[in-house]
Chains A and B, each alone.
Chain A
Amino acid sequence: MGTLTDPIKNKGLAVFEDLPDSRLITQLNSCVHCGLCAETCIYYLATGDERMIPARKVDLVASIYRRYHTVAGKLFPAIVKARDLDDDTAGEMVDLLYGACTMCGRCNAHCSIGIDIGFVIRTGRTMLSNMGMVPATLQSTVDAALVSGNNMSIPKEEFIDTLKWMEEELVDELNDPQAVIPLDQPGKRVLYTLNPREPKFFPLSIAAMAKIFYAAGESWTLSTRMYDVTNYAYFSGNINEASVIANRLWDEMSALKTQALVLAECGHGSAAFRWESPNYLHQKFPFEVMTSVEWIARYLRQGKIKLDPSRIKETVTLHDPCNLVRNGGIIHEQRYILRQCVENFVEMNPCGSDNYCCGGGGGQLAMSEYNERRIKIAGIKADQIRKTGAKIVVTPCHNCVDQISQINFHYKLNVQIKTIAEIVADALILP
C-alpha cells in the first residue's frame, strides 16, 4: 500500500483535466522516439544515464496521461506502456523532472517534430506541486519570497541600509552628491529590480547599474516593498504561487506610476515575468518591460552612454543564460554591448541559442540533494570555458554567475565572473 491517497493523486491528475486548448495533449501524443534529443541534454551527455534522455522524461508524463485518459491505457496499460500514478512513478518524476532537468530548453530546439519538452516537464512539475511533492529545498525559496517579499527573507531595514551604503560608496567614487540610488520615488521613468543575492552578498552589481543609470541621466527608482526579480514558483511548477509573486511587481509598477520596468540580470526571472506572467495573470502589460541587457544596449544605440574598450585587456567570453537567450530570444544585445566594452571577445562553442546550460538552472542551485549531479553536468560548461582561453566570463544572470563561480572553483578554471552591468561599469566613460 503506497502513501499516495486518491485525493492526492487526483490533485496531480487534475493537470490533464479542463484544458483550455489541445496544447498539452498534442505534446504528449507526438513524440516519435527518434532519439535526437538525447545528445542535446547535458544530463545525458555527462552521465550516459538513459533515464535522463528528454524523450524518456516526456514519456513519463505521457504514460500517466495514457493510463487515465485513453481507452487502451485504461484496459491494457502494460501493452501501451501506461503507468499508474503511484509512489514509484511519483518518486521517479521527482528525481527526473526536478532532479535531472535544468529546463534549459536545448532539447526543444533540437526536437525533430518541435515538441515543447520544457512545457511538458513544467506540467510534470505542476503535477508534483499539486501533490505537495516539491523538493523542500526548492519550496523553501518559494516560501521565503511569498512570506517576506523576497527570496532571501531580507528585512526591509537591512535592505535600505545596504542601498544607503552602496550610495555612499558611489557618491565618493564619482565625487558627485547627485549620484544617488533613489528609493520608492513615484513618477520616475524606470523601476529597476534586483536579485536578492545582490543586496545580501554581492552588491557590486547594484553599484554598477546605478553608475550606468547615472551616466545615462536616467530617471529611475528602486522599490523597498517589491524589488525581487526572481520567481522560484516558475521552477516549482506552482502557477498560483508564481502568479502571486508576479502580480506584486505589476502592483508596484502601478503604485509608483512608473513607465518602464527594467529586469535585473536574471534568466528565469525575465522568463517568469516578461514572457509568462501575462499568461498567468491573463492580461497585457500596461507598461514597458525590458531586461537590463536590452536597456543598456539601447543606451549605447542612443549615444546616452559611451564605453572605452581599451581598459579591459584580458580575453573575455560570454555565457548565454538559457532562459534569456534560447527561451527568450535575447541573443544579439549582449554581444553588441560586449564588443564595445572589451577589445578581445571570444565566443564559446557552441554559443547563442545553442549554448550549453551552466547546469544551475531550473532551480538546481536551490536543491542541495542534487548537488553532486549539478557539479558533474557542469563539466561540459567547464570545458567550454577552458577552451576559449578567456580570463573573464561575462553572463547576464546572477544564477549563472553563482553556478559558474562554483564551476570555477571545482574545475580550477581561474577566471573572473562578471555580470553585463559590472563589465559595462568598468568600461564606462563618465560624463
Chain B
Amino acid sequence: MATIEIEGRVLEVDGDGFLADPSVWDENLAAAIARFDGIQELTEKHWSIVRIIRNNWLEKGMAPMIRVICQQTGLKLREIYELFPLGPARGACRVAGLPKPDGCV
C-alpha cells in the first residue's frame, strides 16, 4: 500500500490517494489533501461540501448524492465542479477522507 506524508504523519492511501483508513481523517488532513489537488485554501463553500460528505459517510457509510450536496449548500452543480477540479468523487470525497467510490469515477 502507498503512503503519503502530511505534516510529519505517514498515512496509508490507495493508488488513487484516498485514505486507507477514513477514521484518521481530520480537518488538517483535508486541507493538505486539497493542496495536492491545487486548492491552496479551502473556503467556506469547500468546507460546507466536505462536511456534508463526511456526515453522510458517518451516518450512511457512503458518499451522498450530488443532489443532497446542492440542496443542503444551495450551491449550483457547476459551482461544485469548479470548486473541486477533480470532481465530487476524486476531488471532494477524497478531501473528505472517504474511500474511493465504486464505478466509473
Contact = CB atoms under 8 A, between A and B. Distances in A.
Interface in A355-376: 365-372
Contacts of A141: 102-103
Contact of B67 (A162, A367, A398): A162
B104 interface: yes
Interface stretch (A22-30, A34-42, A180-188, A192-200): A192-200
Interface string B11-33: 00011111000000000000000
Contacts, number: 89
A240 interface: no
Given A201-B89, A368-B16, A162 B65 contact: yes
Contacts of B62: 153
Interface string B59-97: 000110111101100000100000001111110000000
A201 B100 contact: no
A388 interface: no
Classify chain B: how many residues form its interface, as a range: 20 to 34
Contacts of B15: 367-372
Contact of A203 (B67, B71, B90): B67
B105 interface: yes
Contacts of B88: 201-202
B67 to A, nearest CB: 5
Nearest to A365: B104
Interface in A199-222: 199-204
A200 B77 contact: no
Contact of A366 (B17, B63, B71, B103): B103
Contacts of B104: 151, 195-197, 230, 266, 365-366, 398-399, 402
A141 B104 CA distance: 9
Q: Interface of chain B, helix or strand or loop or mixed?
A: loop
Contact of B103 (A197, A204, A368, A406): A197
Contacts of A406: 86, 90
A165 B71 contact: yes
Interface in A274-331: none
Contacts of B87: 201-202, 402, 405
B94 to A, nearest CB: 11
Given A165-B71, A405-B86, A200 B18 contact: no
A158 interface: yes
A149 to B, nearest CB: 13
B90 A200 contact: no
A17 B17 CA distance: 41
Question: Which interface residue of A140, A196, A199, A200 has the most chain B CB atoms within 10 A?
Answer: A200
Interface residues of A, number: 37
Contact of A153 (B37, B77, B102): B102
Contact of B66 (A140, A203, A230, A369): A203
A158 B77 CA distance: 17
Interface in A111-168: 137, 140-141, 144, 151-154, 158, 161-162, 165
A399 B86 CA distance: 14
A21 to B, nearest CB: 33
B101 A152 contact: yes
Contacts of A151: 102-104
Contacts of B66: 162, 200-203
Contacts of B18: 368
Given A201-B88, A368-B18, A371-B15, A158 B102 contact: no
Nearest to A398: B104
A201 B62 CA distance: 13
Contacts of B65: 154, 158, 161-162, 199-201
Question: Which interface residue of B66, B77, B89, B102 has the most chain A CB atoms within 10 A?
Answer: B102
A161 B102 contact: no
Contacts of A266: 104
A200 B66 CA distance: 6
Interface string B40-75: 000000000000000000000011011110110000
A367 B100 CA distance: 10
Nearest to B85: A409
Interface of A: 137, 140-141, 144, 151-154, 158, 161-162, 165, 195-197, 199-204, 230, 266, 365-372, 398-399, 402, 405-406, 409
Given A141-B102, A144-B102, A158-B68, 12 more contacts: A140-B102, A152-B102, A161-B67, A165-B71, A200-B65, A201-B105, A365-B104, A368-B18, A369-B15, A398-B104, A402-B87, A409-B38
Which 5 A-B pairs have CB atoms at the shortest separation, nearest pair first?
A368-B15, A371-B15, A141-B102, A368-B14, A399-B104
18 contacts: A141-B102, A141-B103, A153-B62, A158-B67, A162-B66, A195-B103, A195-B104, A197-B103, A197-B105, A199-B65, A366-B102, A366-B104, A368-B16, A398-B104, A402-B104, A405-B86, A409-B37, A409-B38
Interface of B: 14-18, 37-38, 62-63, 65-68, 70-71, 77, 85-90, 100-105
